[in-house]
Each structure stands twice: as C-alpha cells, then as structure tokens.
Chain A
C-alpha cells in the first residue's frame, strides 16, 4: 500500500503540472529523432570508404585513384540477369590496376578474369547477397534466395554455370564432371542440364543376368563386402553390407542368373595354355594393346594402364576360364552394350590370352569365404535387398525393373537453400561442406540411407563438389546472351555393313565421329578428307602410332583384307568435310623449286621445327607430331587448308594460326608433301 501510494503521489506530481515532463520529454524526443539518421551516417560502408580514402591518400598514384573514386553506394545493375550488386561500395579498388599490390581486403584489385566486372557483376560468380551493404549480410546471408559467398577453392563451379564444355582454366570442374559420369553418380541421381539434356554415365556396369557363368558366389560375396579390396581402382562403391546381407544378395544373384546363350568354347586348350610359354601370352597382351584400356599391377605395385575397362590384376580369381575365353572371342554375346572391341583372335591366340589372364590371380581374395548352400529364404531376402539398394539402377538384373528417380535429383543442388539441408552435428553449416561430407561419409547423415561409400581422395572430393556446385538455379535462368552453347550431342551410328563392323570393333569407344564417341583417340569426322586411302588401309592392318611415347595406342584387330577394304572405303567416303577440294591442290608434281621455297619457309619464316620434326637427325620438335612421313599420310588439300586456318578444321588445336598467305601455304604444302619417308624404312616395318 505504501509503495503504491508513493507511486500514485509521484504520478500525481508529474501529471498535475504536466508542463515540466512535457518539456523534458520533448527534449528526449528530439534526441531520439536524432539517433536514427546518425545511425545511418555511421554505417559500415561509409567506414570502408573512409578507410579506402585514407589508404590511397599517401600513394603515388593518389590523384588518379581519387579521381576514379565515387562516394556513396555503387551499384551494378543487370536487369536481364536479375543482378543488383553493391559490392563495389566497399570493394572500391576492384578495378584499379594500380592497386595490384594491395593485399588488404576489401581494397585489393580483382585478379584478371576473362569477363568484364561491370557486365557480369559479382554475385553471378561469387554468390553472396549483392544488394546488401553490410559485410555480414553480403557475405554470409543464408536466407533464400541469398547464399553465402562461395569459397575460393570452389570458384570454378561458377564458370560451369554457363560453360558446359571443358575449359582449359577449370581443371577441377572438368575433373568433377568427368567423375560424375565416370563413377556412376548420374545412374542414381538425375542431373538435367540447362540445355535440356541429361548427364549420361560413362561407366559400364556389367549386366548380372548371366553372372553365374562368369564368376562364383564366393567371389560375389567378397566383392560385395568390399570391391576395393579386390581392386583399388574398382568403380563399384562399398555398400557397407552386413555379412548376412552380402550372403543373401550373392545367393539371389546366382540363383537368378540365366544361361547367356553364348556358344561356350569348351576349354580344351586349358591345359595346353598352362604349359605354353607364358611370355607368348604376355606379348599377345602387349601387341593387342589391351593396356590402352585395362590396367594391371606391375611388380613394383604400381597400377599401369588405361581405365576404360576394369583392372585385370586379379582377373583369374574373378572369372571362370571358359567364360573368359568366350568373352575374348565375342564380348557382345555376354554384354551387348560393352565397349570391349571384338578382336579377331584365332583359337590359338584365344587360348594363349585366356591362359595368360587366368594366371593373374589374387587367390586370397576369396580364401576366407565359406558359404553354405543358399536357402529359399535367403534368396528371397537377397531379392528384397537388391531392390532396396537399387542394384538394378546400374546393373541389368533379370526380373527386377530399373527404378526411376532412385535418388534425389541433383540438377539444382548447387542452389539448395541451407534451410533444406540436414547437417550432422559439429560440421560447418555450408553447402560446400555439406556436399563434401555427403560424398565422403554418406551414411553419417542418418540411419536407413542407401548411398554407398566411395573411396575418393580429397582433391577428388573437391572436384566433385565443384561440379555439383555448378548445378545452380541461376544456370537455368541465365540471360540468353550469356549462355554458351554446349557441343551438340548426337546419336550418330555408322550405317550399313561397315557400320556393323565398326560397332563390333567399338571404334566409337575411343574415336569421335560426327559428334559422338570417346575422346581417347583422334576425331575421325574429317578423316576421309585428310588422309590417303592407301595409308589408312595400311594403318588398319598395322596401326603404328604417330606418337610412339603413348601407352594408349590403337589396338591391332587382326582384320581380314576384305574387312579392311570395307572399313577404308567407308571412312574415306563417309567422313568428308565440305570446303576441302582434293583437286584444288595437286598431290604431287610440285616443282623442286617450290619445294625448296617451302623448306625455306618451314625453317626460317615460321620456324616450324620448333615443334615438329622433318629430319629426325637435326630437328628437335616434340610438341607436334613428327612430319617425316606426312606426305604419304595427309592429302595436299588438307595440309593446305590446315596451314591457312588450323582452328577451322579442328577447333581448339594448339597449332597456331599464322595467317598464312596462299603462296606461302602452297610452298609449304609442296615441301610437306615431299616428306614421304624412305621406302626402305617402310619395308622394314
């Protein structure tokens, strides 16, 4: 009572003559009104602009810098891209060439890039909140649609928003994209690209329809438990299966296997091959250039060879010899879609190779596996597991339909709002960290997850994260003029009988033709215009390489004469490009004077010997292919056109465009056409 009375009395004192509190309150009101604009005046960006002015004040180029300085909020506005960037408000010296030595942010000069800062703005590459004028909001905002800044190590991801082809400046991104296809990520995760296409896997998971013919249940069990213990380079990831699950899946796969219908050669030669000279098998393996695609572990423990096909170090443990022989004879019978070419080996060669490969075993891989005969329950459970883990997404399995959209689509994963991510405790709450953690330890994100465990190195994880971060919302809404047309994908298949032959040989596994095929070997789309028929025929019979230092080389397929003739005819007629007129430049009969003039031009005017060699004794050029026999290989018309504009014929080639005059080109062509190689050497080979 006493207290409330006191309050009442003091209120009464206050309100009885309200003029006093009125005067005081008005004064406070005035002060309160003054705070708000003052707060505006002492804003963060003004602080940075003042610091910038102090920084440039004492420099020798102060005059220029001060003239360039614009006070107030600086804005880049790109209405078509929806970009409003005010980064330059604080990053004042971004475009000042003179500030290249300044390392203190935010005032340093932007490193040189192929794009103009004012045309592309900042957030398109760096992300962050462009409209913000405070550091925290600009750099770290996570409210959709804003994103925090992209860490510099993933910066290549930003290039990938517009550039869908491989760029020389973005090795990480390129590697990540290759890995997405190579490691089968895109089997389960759909990745749609802005041009409407879908990213396709480049690995070849084998069909499991006839698995029982190929291998044993024990091997399957051991493989399922840990594919990398069989071969460190194995593509298949580890699904971290329990012993029982692996047992049941192997039981199901064996029980579910059907006969392939491949005409199995009886393994008559098995004993013979064992006794045969093992070096004969090894040299056949070498002559056939199997190592172009397959790797093996050498004595030193290094894995040597290509990675297009599986590593063969333990192949003898894995496959049954009779299956191996039938596979080598015609791989298409077992796996119709395989990239393995159908070599024309003789029965004896098949026996040799089978014996050679069957001897490559790491028998301890299955040594500790002892499986009891499968029960129907185990098989049924295995079937359930196979469906659950989505094995059929990659592998063809009899009776199990390939599931659609098995895993979350990743087409816009690079713009996923943080609010939609579930982080594990203790991790950095950013999208790149989330992606890296998800790639490295997918099962840490909760029970019941099915994504398998890969064994990636940290540069590989970085590369994959970079590739995933390039899949942004923005890449779909880029202004038309920013979109870089990606190379057209085609479904080109060579036609006719020759086409069938080329399919058997899987030419397109290595060579690109008319926009489809691998990039291991040269593009053949213009082959018909560039080479001599005779050379091509010879080459198919005995493919000696142009660059002997390479491990990956064109294999010898043991083609018959008719097959070679057919293939040569087809290539010479089907792979022509317009604009190269074989009659325009005569192949032979150039005057010696012209040849001599060409020699002068070659050695003095353009100094071609810096990269190429014509005379192996004196020239030292190793960058480009040797030209000692170029005259018998290439047509004059092609050489002429090539000299005038190499990039027109093969975009991206490093051969410089020297803007050659017609006369120079003609003389040089004459000189090069004269380089036919000595007939003797040819004969020796």
Chain B
C-alpha cells in the first residue's frame, strides 16, 4: 500500500452494454485482469426467502414491542402551556442540543445543510474513492492540515462552551494521532487498521460519534430548561 496507485476509476460509456466498471491504467504496466468466478443463486426463491425471513423477524419484534409498550400520548395541545423541556423527536435532539449553543441560523440551518451536502458529495471525490490511509501519502502536508483542523475545531467548540461536542472531537483526534504514528508495519493489528483508514472514514466516524453522543445527551441528560440532569436520579 505504500506505492501510489496510478489509475483512474470509471464506467464504460457504451450505453448499449451493461455497465461494467473498468480501470484506466495510467502507469506503464501491463494490465492483468483476474476474472473472478462466483457462485450465483436464483433471487427467487433464495433471495426473496431470506428477505421475507428478515422482514418477518422484524415484524415479530415490532408487534411484541407494540403489545407491551404503549405509544406516548400527552394532554391535548395547549399553546399557552409549554412543557418543560419541550423536546423534538429523538433523531432531532442532536440538532436541538446544537441549538442550545448556537443561534438557529447556525445550528438549525447551516449545520444540517452542510451535513446533507457533505453526505451527497462523498462519492464524488477521488480521495474518497481511492481510500488510502490518511497519513501514508503526503504525510507531512496531511499532518499539518490535520493539526490545524483539529486545533481549530476544538478551539471553536471550546470557545462556545460546547463541551458535549468537544469531548468526542478530542477522542477522535486522539485516535487520529495514534493513527498518524502508526504504519502498516506496526506490531499491533489495531494500529495497522487505524493507519490504513482514509480521511473520509475519519470524518464519518467523527460525525457518527458526535451524532450518538449528542442524541444520547439530548434524550437522556437534558431536563427542565435544557439543564443537565442524570437520568438515573429520579
């Protein structure tokens, strides 16, 4: 993996044929194609049966949950009485936690918009497709960018007192540092694994970690007036 990969990925432009992924080899090596023969099975019944089985198990679980746990129903909507705290659905509680720290235009608009754009563009960047370890190629430059980005983000979060988001950021940063000083030849399997992670993996992991932490905090650790409460106390 230490060698740079000099190829371009793409798909054939012949619309009459079924699309096949091909690579255009840009370095002067002879192209060697290894054809892989795979066992194939009929979608019907093999695939559909498995799908049906999965759905059946899901429905059984949902039915049992529904029999034993009732959906919440509060008092009738009353515009004059705000419950404390007024919480959004759980999947928006991460956002609501952000709204606690930043003005709505940042937390409610900027962050979600950037998120959606980031998700959409993931497959359109070569860096994501090639997926080399972040610190293996252009190590010096990437390391500098990483230091700058991690410090900037942490300072920003610290400045706004967003400790809930800062702590996951620091943890991910710590793992990235570990990855930066590991290589594919490290003795530990875990370090070898970290060293091979590409940049998009790190960003997504950071996002997932933040999402889980913020949602859990918003769901369980926030009480009246969006104050910090411990769910196991009362």
A143 to B75, Cβ gap below 8 A?
yes
Return chain B residues, CB-CB under 8 Å to A25: 53, 56-57, 60
A29 to B60, Cβ gap below 8 A?
yes
B59 to A146, Cβ gap below 8 A?
no
**A21 CA to B52 CA, complexed, in Å:** 11
A419 to B81, Cβ gap below 8 A?
yes
Which B43-84 residues have a C-beta within 8 angstroms of A? 46, 49-50, 52-53, 56-57, 59-60, 63-64, 66-67, 73-76, 78, 81, 83
Query: Does A482 make an interface contact (CB < 8 A)?
Result: no
**A18 CA to B48 CA, complexed, in Å:** 10
Name A's interface SS. Answer: helix
Which A1-50 residues have a C-beta within 8 angstroms of B? 15, 18-19, 21-22, 25-26, 28-29, 32-33, 35-36, 39
Return chain A residues, CB-CB under 8 Å to B67: 32, 35-36, 39
Return chain A residues, CB-CB under 8 Å to B50: 15, 18
Chain B nearest CB, measured from A378 CB (Å): 40
Of the candidates A28, A33, A36, A144, the one whose C-beta lies within 8 Å of that of B81 is A144
Closest to B45 in A: A19
Return chain B residues, CB-CB under 8 Å to A71: none
Given contacts A32-B64, A33-B63, A35-B63, contact A22 B56 (CB under 8 A): yes
Given contacts A18-B50, A36-B67, A420-B81, contact A29 B59 (CB under 8 A): yes
**A36 CA to B68 CA, complexed, in Å:** 10
> Could you mark each residue 5-36 of chain B with 1 if its beta carbon is under 8 Å from any beta carbon of chain A, else 0?
00000000000000000000000000000000
Which A154-209 residues have a C-beta within 8 angstroms of B? none
**A18 CA to B53 CA, complexed, in Å:** 8
Return chain B residues, CB-CB under 8 Å to A479: none
**A419 CA to B53 CA, complexed, in Å:** 46
Return chain B residues, CB-CB under 8 Å to A36: 63, 66-67
Query: Does A417 make an interface contact (CB < 8 A)?
Result: yes
Chain A nearest CB, measured from B84 CB (Å): 9
Return chain B residues, CB-CB under 8 Å to A616: none
Pick the most buried of B52, B53, B60, B66: most chain A CB atoms within 10 A of its CB: B53
Pick the most buried of A18, A33, A144: most chain B CB atoms within 10 A of its CB: A18
B49 to A19, Cβ gap below 8 A?
yes
Return chain A residues, CB-CB under 8 Å to B59: 29, 32
B56 to A144, Cβ gap below 8 A?
no
A18 to B76, Cβ gap below 8 A?
no
Number of interface residues of A (CB under 8 A): 21
Query: Does A337 make an interface contact (CB < 8 A)?
Result: no
Closest to A23 in B: B53
Chain B nearest CB, measured from A622 CB (Å): 57
A21 to B53, Cβ gap below 8 A?
yes
A28 to B60, Cβ gap below 8 A?
yes
Return chain A residues, CB-CB under 8 Å to B75: 143-146, 417, 419
A29 to B81, Cβ gap below 8 A?
no
Chain A nearest CB, measured from B45 CB (Å): 8
**A145 CA to B50 CA, complexed, in Å:** 49
Chain A nearest CB, measured from B58 CB (Å): 10
> Could you mark each residue 217-242 of chain A with 1 if its beta carbon is under 8 Å from any beta carbon of chain B, else 0?
00000000000000000000000000
Closest to B47 in A: A18
Closest to B63 in A: A32
Closest to A26 in B: B56
**A19 CA to B64 CA, complexed, in Å:** 23
> Could you mark each residue 81-96 of chain B with 1 if its beta carbon is under 8 Å from any beta carbon of chain A, else 0?
1010000000000000
Return chain A residues, CB-CB under 8 Å to B78: 144
Return chain B residues, CB-CB under 8 Å to A15: 50
**A28 CA to B62 CA, complexed, in Å:** 13
* Pairs across A and B, CB under 8 Å, 23 listed: A18-B50, A18-B53, A19-B49, A22-B49, A22-B56, A25-B56, A25-B57, A28-B56, A28-B60, A29-B60, A29-B63, A32-B59, A32-B67, A35-B67, A36-B63, A36-B67, A144-B76, A144-B78, A144-B81, A419-B75, A419-B81, A419-B83, A420-B81
Other than the known A28-B56, A143-B75, what 12 A-B pairs have Cβ atoms closer than 8 Å?
Answer: A15-B50, A18-B49, A26-B56, A29-B56, A32-B60, A32-B67, A35-B63, A36-B63, A36-B67, A143-B74, A146-B75, A419-B81
Question: Which of B's residues lie within 8 Å of A, judged by CB?
Answer: 46, 49-50, 52-53, 56-57, 59-60, 63-64, 66-67, 73-76, 78, 81, 83
